[in-house]
């Protein structure tokens, strides 16, 4: 194994369809949908009243109350996922803490809490703001709290690249590892933007599905009847380390992080390049870095948000990169089940790719009932598909023209 090989040794997930890797994966391949009417607050006056909420989440405070008090819900999701991943990787105590770092990915930090606090002040419910508000809304707080709780002293960074934040966090961790800045990185994503003002803004931008009367059918990536994405929330975490470091610790790995890339459309603040040029370039760079041909990829977890323009542009990008192989390449969007988890989605969708490599099951795209000629892909429709694959790709494409592609491959020392 080459010295620059990077392996995944731990995973964790907090999602709208299950908390913990096993629950998340089992429900994903079983076709469970987490989209339902919003319960977090009264949404009756909003044009969009559905979302994919995390339910039955109880934050296990295996840390001091002082630290726990400084976490907004997005940070709790990310921290809980990281706890699972660290336990999974047998890394709850570090021999060389200065060689272990954290990269956090989040699109909108604690903006929901900030908006809620402002609304309470305006309504007279609150008459003052407490000292913990600023730490709670900061995007980098998860990385800081993990470092404090687990005594990590290596590189600590937080990525905010909209919906590609999770994938870009993985790429940043990989670059830090390959440059010798660290031996092991905990990559986390956390998101929760369930807020009336944020929902109203996205609805005004015509980005959200308005299937309020049929929430479970609202997210329908690549389907001709798609009308926008559904907000999701949650957290995801991956322990990424050099193969040499993993061998020294005596731990097995789930997969190899073989390729990664980031590009910029340079086209529009919210709309994707309609030709898919930037996304195509991103996939090509990831393949080149992995030393793979397009035909080597057996499964693609698409960004697939269920927006009319986004899915069409991504389809064009896939055809541009995979050519004739695009008709045999299995494609699905797990956002049909979890909603759009933004910064957390980039991590949990890579985890879905790793589980597909392990199990030989490809997760489905729910609600795919009416094929769209503009999205002529080999969609894994409605039920999971069995397939033996050796490499998988995950795309994350975000506002501002952000593109991220991650490639994972099978590892000979796979866990379980």
Q: What is the DSSP string of 182-212?
A: -SEEEEEEEE----HHHHHHHHHTT-B---T
pLDDT value at residue 329: 97
| Maximum distance among all Cα pairs of the chain, rounded to whole angstroms | 63
pLDDT value at residue 416: 41
Tell how strand 361-362 and strand 50-52 pair up: unpaired
260-410 CATH fold: Peroxisomal Thiolase; Chain A, domain 1 (3.40.47)
pLDDT, tens digit (0-9, with 9 covering 90-100), for 59-82: 876 677 878 788 899 999 999 999
Whether 190 and 77 have beta carbons less than 8 Å apart is answered as yes
6-249 CATH fold: Peroxisomal Thiolase; Chain A, domain 1 (3.40.47)
pLDDT value at residue 412: 44
Residue 6 phi/psi, 5-degree rounding, is -115, 135
Element (H, E) at 94: none
What is the crossing angle of helices 277-290 and 308-322, to 10°?
Answer: 40
Full-model pTM: 0.95
Whether 306 and 33 have beta carbons less than 8 Å apart is answered as no
CA triplet 347, 353, 355: central angle to 5 degrees?
A: 105
Residue 187 phi/psi, 5-degree rounding, is -105, 120
pLDDT, tens digit (0-9, with 9 covering 90-100), for 188-238: 999 999 999 999 999 999 999 999 999 999 999 999 999 999 999 999 999
C-alpha pair distances (Å), 395 with each of 141, 194, 218, 306? 26, 24, 21, 14
Q: Which residues are catalytic?
A: 163, 303, 340
DSSP 378: E
pLDDT value at residue 1: 41
pLDDT tens-digit profile, the chain (416 residues): 447 899 999 999 999 999 999 999 999 999 999 999 999 999 999 999 999 999 999 887 667 787 878 889 999 999 999 999 999 999 988 889 999 999 999 999 999 999 988 988 898 988 888 888 998 899 998 999 999 999 999 999 999 999 999 999 999 999 999 999 999 999 999 999 999 999 999 999 999 999 999 999 999 999 999 999 999 999 999 999 999 999 999 999 999 999 999 999 999 988 899 999 999 999 999 999 999 999 999 999 999 999 999 999 999 999 999 998 998 999 999 999 999 999 999 999 999 999 999 999 999 999 999 999 999 999 999 999 999 999 999 999 999 999 999 999 986 444 44
In the chain, domain spans: 6-249, 260-410
Q: What residues pair up with 50 in beta bridges, in sequence order? A: 37
């Amino acid at each position: 194994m080459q010295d620059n090989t990077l392996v995944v040794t731990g995973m964790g997930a907090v999602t709208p369809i299950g908390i913990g890797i096993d629950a998340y994966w089992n429900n994903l391949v079983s076709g469970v949908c987490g989209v339902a009417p919003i319960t977090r607050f009264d949404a009756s006056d909003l044009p969009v009243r559905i979302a994919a909420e995390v339910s039955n989440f109880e934050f296990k405070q295996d840390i001091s109350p002082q630290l726990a008090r400084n976490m907004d819900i997005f940070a709790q999701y990310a921290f809980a996922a990281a706890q699972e991943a660290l336990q999974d990787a047998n890394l709850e105590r570090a021999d060389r803490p200065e060689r272990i770092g954290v990269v956090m990915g989040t699109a909108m930090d604690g903006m929901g809490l900030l908006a809620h606090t402002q609304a309470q002040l305006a309504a007279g419910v609150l008459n003052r703001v407490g000292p913990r508000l600023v730490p709670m809304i900061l995007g980098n707080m998860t990385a800081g709290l993990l470092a404090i709780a687990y005594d990590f002293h290596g590189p600590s960074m937080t990525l905010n690249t909209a919906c590609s934040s999770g994938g870009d966090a993985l790429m940043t961790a990989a670059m830090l590892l390959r440059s010798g800045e660290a031996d092991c990185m905990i990559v986390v994503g956390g998101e929760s933007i369930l807020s009336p003002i944020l929902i109203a803004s996205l609805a005004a931008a015509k980005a959200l599905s308005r299937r309020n009367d049929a929430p479970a059918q609202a997210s329908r990536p690549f389907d001709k009847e798609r009308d926008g994405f559904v907000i999701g929330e949650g957290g995801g975490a991956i322990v990424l380390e050099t193969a040499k470091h993993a061998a020294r610790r005596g731990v097995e790995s789930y997969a190899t992080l073989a390729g990664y890339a980031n590009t910029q459309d340079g086209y529009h603040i919210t709309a994707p390049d309609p030709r898919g040029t930037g996304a195509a370039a991103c996939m090509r760079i990831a393949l080149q870095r992995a030393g793979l041909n397009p035909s080597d990829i057996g499964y693609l977890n698409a960004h697939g948000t269920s927006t009319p323009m986004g899915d069409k542009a991504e389809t064009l990008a896939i055809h541009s990169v995979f050519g004739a192989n695009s008709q045999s390449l299995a494609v699905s969007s797990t956002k049909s089940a979890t909603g759009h988890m933004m910064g957390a989605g980039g991590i949990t969708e890579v985890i879905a790719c790793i589980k597909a490599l392990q199990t030989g099951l490809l997760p489905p795209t729910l609600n795919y009932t009416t094929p769209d000629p503009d999205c002529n892909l080999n969609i894994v429709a409605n039920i999971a598909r069995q397939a033996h694959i050796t490499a998988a790709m995950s795309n994350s494409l975000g506002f501002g023209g952000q593109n991220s592609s991650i490639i994972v491959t099978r590892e000979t020392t796979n866990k379980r």
